[in-house]
């Protein structure tokens, strides 16, 4: 069966319909692409022809046997016709065989264990990639036009014969101009709003125009030498397309000179200058730290924390929750962040986890009334679930933004010992939040030398489903708090 060079897929569709109507098996047909004969599809739709096979063949033109057998899914039709644009010479025979098998129920569409289905899916995917590359790498050159519309021409060499499937994109995007896209075998021509295809004639490659030099100048100016990744660039712009891209001639020299240009840019860069507001922030911090014994130092700090907008958590939260306690407490207890109750009350450790902390501290002999209670993050981070607000762990950027306030609290209180409740607090105090269970109960040092006792957050004790395990963990938590009490006694 000889198919024409142009409009090959529609021709195959008509031929497959006629052959299936005659009951011709797949292995009895030899498919090729070339010059079509005058009687290529004669007899397939003439009066007196045998009934056509239902299924895929009825999707386009209908028929009385439409309900006689299951029809092919639309996804199967689209995928098969996309795979027909592959360069594999066996694609037509494979597609016809698969249509017959799908129509008869011998195989189900999407069954990747079947070789024909698996190959058609892979070929359709490869054609899709080739079409995507064609959309990206076709370069039009302006040519003299015969009317009021501007005219353009392009030469492209796709890996697969997918021109007819790819060019409707250009018709939609460049509908106000005339253009021609020539490939080695088929040429797409769009004139006066109509798209048609023809066999490519010799000498259809368009000449260069003045805009190509302009495009090369533009490409060289936007080429970033500091972000050169040759493998990634070749993955997005395969070398086989470079011969059709005017800017591709510049790429080797631009890549070779990238390192030299980066060094020159670094040498010419101005010295970093802190923004004006940075000095204002430093001055405010120095003013807070310089007050020797101000009665309202903690109050001033609380007001500053209440106005914080250093990260996005200030938007959804009700209010900031500053620390509280004696201004020169020997012990500072640091949690992760306020919970739902703390967010509404504006005070730390008043929710369920805070109740566990206070109960276990009382049994461990630790007086929390003499301690400074605070959190590493001052706003409540949550996700709404109906009427509830579900706690979400703050990320590293949010913890870092709030470290400013935690450092000011530590400078104000100057505790002899800090207790880190959970990984977030441990990371904020010591710079390392990992391996918490292995580190719990130990005393480490903050960057300024302040001793830090690491333990779990009391909310963990509330989440343990096993009662015996929960009691065991409570006892270990109580021992950690008792050690903190002994350390500051």
- Domain match, 26 and 6 both: yes
Tens-digit pLDDT profile for residues 153-179 = 888 889 999 999 999 999 999 988 999
Which letter does DSSP use for residue 208 in this model? P
Domain that holds residue 58: 2-133
Neighbours of 36 (CB within 10 A): 17
Note whether residue 419 is domain-resident. yes
End-to-end CA distance of the chain: 97
Strand extents, DSSP E, 265-378? 331-335, 371-375
373 vs 216, residue with greater confidence: 373
pLDDT in tens, 250-304: 888 888 888 888 888 878 877 666 667 777 777 777 676 665 444 568 888 888 8
70 and 190 both lie in a single domain: no
Q: Write down the pLDDT at residue 367.
A: 93
pLDDT band at 114 (very low <50, low <70, confident <90, very high): very high
Answer yes or no: do 152 and 122 share one domain: no
- Alpha-carbon span 254 to 239, nearest angstrom: 15
DSSP 392-457: ----HHHHHHHHHHHHHHHHHH--SEEEEESHHHHHHHHS--S-HHHHTT-EEE-TTS-EEEEE--
Q: For residue range 403-423, what is the model confidence (pLDDT) as tens digits?
A: 989 999 999 999 999 999 999
Distance CA 419, CA 480 (A): 9
Asked if residue 190 and residue 108 are part of one domain, the reply reads: no
Q: Could you tell me if 360 and 466 lie in one domain? A: yes
**Which pLDDT does position 53 carry in this prediction?**
37
Asked which of 176, 199, 222 is the last residue of a domain, the reply is 199
Geometric angle at alpha carbon 444, from 439 and 445, rounded to 5°? 150
Same domain? For 71 and 84 the reply is yes
Predicted confidence (pLDDT) at residue 207 exceeds the cutoff of 80: no
pTM: 0.47
Instruction: Classify residue 158 as exposed, middle or buried by CB count within 10 Å of its CB (0-12, 13-18, 19+).
Output: buried
What is the count of structural domains for the chain?
A: 4
Residue 399 lies in a domain: yes
42 HSE (CA, 13 A, CB side): 5
Q: Are residues 102 and 187 in the same domain?
A: no
Q: Which two tokens stand for residue 174?
A: 């460049």
Phi, psi torsion values for 365, nearest 5 degrees: 80, 25
224 and 238 part of one domain: yes
Give whole-number Cα distances, 154 to 162, 167, 207, 466, 486, in Å: 15, 12, 9, 71, 82
Residue 273 pLDDT = 66
Strand segments (E) across 144-201: 151-155, 178-182, 186-191, 194-199
**Does residue 66 register a pLDDT over 50?**
no
Helix (H, G, I), strand (E, B) or coil at 91: helix
419 and 481 both lie in a single domain = yes
């Amino acid at each position: 069966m000889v198919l024409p060079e142009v409009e090959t897929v529609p021709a195959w569709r008509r031929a497959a319909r006629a052959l299936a109507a005659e009951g011709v098996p797949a292995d009895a047909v030899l498919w090729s692409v070339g010059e079509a004969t005058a009687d290529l599809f004669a007899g397939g739709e003439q009066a007196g022809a045998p009934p056509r096979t239902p299924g895929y063949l009825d999707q386009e033109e209908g028929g009385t046997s439409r309900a006689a057998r299951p029809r092919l899914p639309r996804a199967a039709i689209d995928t098969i016709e996309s795979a027909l644009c592959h360069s594999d010479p066996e694609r037509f025979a494979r597609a016809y065989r698969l249509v017959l098998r799908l129509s008869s129920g011998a195989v189900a569409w999407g069954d990747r264990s079947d070789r024909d289905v698996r190959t058609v899916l892979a070929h359709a995917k490869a054609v899709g990639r080739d079409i995507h590359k064609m959309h990206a790498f076709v370069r039009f050159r302006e040519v003299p036009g015969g009317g009021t519309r501007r005219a353009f021409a392009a030469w492209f060499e796709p890996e697969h014969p997918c021109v007819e499937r790819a060019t409707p994109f250009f018709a939609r995007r460049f509908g106000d101009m005339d253009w021609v896209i020539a490939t080695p075998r088929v040429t797409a021509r769009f004139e006066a709003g109509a798209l048609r295809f023809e066999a490519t004639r010799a000498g259809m490659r368009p000449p260069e125009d003045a805009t190509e030099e302009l495009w090369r100048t533009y490409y060289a100016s936007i080429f970033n030498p500091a972000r050169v990744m040759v493998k990634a660039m070749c993955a997005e712009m395969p070398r086989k397309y470079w011969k059709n891209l005017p800017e591709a001639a510049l790429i080797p020299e631009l890549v070779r000179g990238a390192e030299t240009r980066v060094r020159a840019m670094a040498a010419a860069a101005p010295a970093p200058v802190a923004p004006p507001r940075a000095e204002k922030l430093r001055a405010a911090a120095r003013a807070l730290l310089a007050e020797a014994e101000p009665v309202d130092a903690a109050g001033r700090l609380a007001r500053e924390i209440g106005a914080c907008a250093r990260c996005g958590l200030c938007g959804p939260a009700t209010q900031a929750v500053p620390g509280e306690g004696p201004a020169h407490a020997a012990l500072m207890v640091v949690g992760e962040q306020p919970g739902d109750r703390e967010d509404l009350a504006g005070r730390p450790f008043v929710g369920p986890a805070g109740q566990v902390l206070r109960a276990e501290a009382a049994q461990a002999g630790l007086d929390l009334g003499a301690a400074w209670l605070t959190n590493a993050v001052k706003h409540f981070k949550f996700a709404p679930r109906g009427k509830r607000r579900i706690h979400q762990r703050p990320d590293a950027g949010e913890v870092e933004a709030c470290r400013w306030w935690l450092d000011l609290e530590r400078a104000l209180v100057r505790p002899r010992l800090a207790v880190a409740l959970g990984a977030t607090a441990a990371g904020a105090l010591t710079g390392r939040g990992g391996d918490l269970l292995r580190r719990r109960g130990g005393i480490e040092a903050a960057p300024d030398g302040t001793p830090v006792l690491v333990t779990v957050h009391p909310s963990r004790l509330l989440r343990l489903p096993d009662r015996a395990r929960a009691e065991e963990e409570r006892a270990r938590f109580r021992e950690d708090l008792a050690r903190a009490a002994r350390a500051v006694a």
